[in-house]
Chains A and B, each alone.
Chain A
Amino acid sequence: MHRLDGQRVTDFLAAKFASPTRSTRLTVVLGRWLGIAFTVCFLTGLFSHGLQNPPAWMIFPTRPVWIYQLSQGIHVTAGIASIPLLLAKLWSVYPELLSWPPVRSVVHGLERASIALFVAASLLQVTTGLINTYKWYPWPFPFRETHYWLAWVIWGSLLLHIAVKLPAISAHWRRRQAAASASNSPASGASDAAAGESGAGVPAPGRWSRRAMLTAVTAATGAVVVTTAGQSFAWLAPLNLFAPRKMGTGPQGVPVNRTAADANVADAAMSPAWALLVRSGPVTRSFTLEQLRAMPQHSHELPIACVEGWSQLASWRGVRVRDLLAAVDAPPGSDLHVTSLEPEGAYRTMSMPAAYARDEQTLVALELNGAALDLDHGYPARIIAPGRPGVLQTKWLQSVEVL
């Protein structure tokens, strides 16, 4: 029986998968774009996470009022853009997978292991991140926690990868430099030499040049961005063909994530006995809907912006939270604990830092786009604050407590 010769098998496969379009320069250009996309996702993701699980030092910007709409729209859009970039980047280094022997030394083994983790975590992150925005999540591990911790794993792997590959990256950072280093160094392999001479210009018969491939990857990335970003950015809404959300849909022209039926809240919300409790230390007052309507009403144009990337600007009208605090003699700069009528759910209670409580645009909203709130939008009263994730804009209010 013949012993399976790994070297011969991988050489055979490498020949089958060979493409003159691949080169270190191609990988460096794609890696640059992907590195930027991942870093943008990481930073905007940390911002969103900080708003929802704030560390003690967290700052809560309330202006511009669309800051979260922008940051989370960018987060989801950059995540979608990174899908074609990741696939192209992985394609460009595919022959590395077939290198033989698979592990040359301890350091080489560690490097390959770190790459395996980087690749696997990245594939998982962009796929589950995308599918989670479809409200479909068929996996045994929770989304938010996994997405958060893997983000650290991925961004750390990115830094490590840059450190390991820095000589190759800097040698191919500029086009001319790349061509020179590819034709001068025989060790960099035939594909690099060919690419250095012809990669950008005339391709092999029937193939495409490096520049043509980069143009196509840009076009494909642009296509998925332009046809999905309309869920986050109104000026792209007419081209929104493949996003899970559309602006202007839903009751009162605003999309709904959690309906009154989902929250099992309809009876409590429609009850004529409903009143909003506002408590500050020993002082407790309850406000019926009539009493709330009799207070000074304020109108603000504020976006509702979801962690899933979609957002919708709307016109809200109601009572300022700071006016309610004044009615129970609480200082306007108080942290609040807000409770919904929902019997259960991760967002039944919400903490509101003082930055929002004192903001003149933070409302207990009674009206949306000129009419009383729809039941699915939080009737009889809901919170709307500038610059916060949608899950923290608590609906179907029950009580507001000063901490």
Chain B
Amino acid sequence: MSAGKSRRNIRLVLGAAGVAVLGYGLVGLPTELGPAQLLGLLTWMAVAVLLHDGVLVPLSTAAGFGLTRAGSRLQPASAAVLRGALLTGSLVTLLTALLLKAQSVARKSTVLEADYAVNLACLWAVLAVVSAVAILLLQRRGRRAGSRRR
């Protein structure tokens, strides 16, 4: 059998298995969820995609424009450190926002006991210090390498 043909067979088997597994889930869903619950689920899924594609990605792209401008004055490695720190910080901030919201509504037991806002501030402080030091070192090394080249 040729390589192309065997790959086509792999794709067919994989695709058929995928459709079967996916179909099992789609058929099972309405056996345990009522019409109103299914409607709520579909609405949630549609809103999630709209928020992701219409808000989250445009916002991060806008942040990317600013970072491209700021980053073009830095060494490439420093610009990458800056982006990485902001990416990490934003992600943890998103999680913390959910935690704080949950903390305000969840019933009291041994859940959500930490002071997440303080922890978030600590994380940002660590990110700021670590990335500032890294950027300073990288900039100095880059300048030295640049002056040697000239």
Contacts and interface: CB of A to CB of B under 8 A. Distances in A.
Given A139-B40, A208-B76, A212-B84, A156 B96 contact: no
Given A141-B38, A153-B29, A124 B18 contact: no
Contacts, number: 235
B15 A164 contact: yes
Contacts of A121: 45
Nearest to A42: B21
A215 B24 contact: no
B17 interface: yes
B88 A209 contact: no
A155 B10 CA distance: 17
Contact of A145 (B32, B102, B105): B32
A262 B107 CA distance: 10
B19 interface: yes
Interface string A198-239: 000011011111001101110110011001100000000000
Contact of B11 (A130, A151, A166): A166
B11 A206 contact: no
B149 to A, nearest CB: 15
Contacts of B56: 87
B122 interface: yes
B32 A216 contact: no
Interface string B30-53: 001100111011001110110011
B79 A206 contact: yes
A141 B7 contact: no
- Label chain B's interface by main secondary structure: helix
Contacts of B22: 114, 117, 152-153, 156-157, 159-160
A155 B21 contact: yes
B129 to A, nearest CB: 15
B98 interface: yes
A371 interface: no
Contacts of B137: none
Given A141-B41, A150-B25, A206-B70, A156 B19 contact: yes
B46 A120 contact: yes
Contacts of A16: 61
B76 A209 contact: yes
Given A149-B28, A152-B22, A156-B25, A208 B83 contact: yes
B145 to A, nearest CB: 14
Contacts of B46: 120
A142 to B, nearest CB: 7
Most chain B beta carbons < 10 A, residue from A97, A142, A156, A228? A156
**What is the size category of the interface that chain B forms with chain A?**
35 or more
Given A120-B48, A163-B18, A216 B87 contact: yes
A153 B21 CA distance: 7
B33 to A, nearest CB: 6
A246 B114 contact: yes
B49 A134 contact: no
Interface string A102-114: 0000000000001
A242 B80 contact: no
Contacts of A163: 10-12, 14-15, 18
A182 interface: no
Interface of A: 16-17, 19, 83-84, 87, 90-91, 94, 97, 114, 116-117, 119-121, 123-124, 127, 130-131, 134-136, 138-142, 145-146, 148-164, 166-167, 170, 202-203, 205-209, 212-213, 215-217, 219-220, 223-224, 227-228, 240-246, 249-250, 255-259, 262
Given A156-B22, A216-B80, A224-B91, 18 more contacts: A87-B91, A120-B48, A123-B49, A135-B112, A139-B44, A146-B33, A159-B15, A159-B21, A170-B7, A202-B76, A203-B80, A207-B71, A220-B88, A224-B95, A242-B92, A242-B114, A242-B116, A244-B112
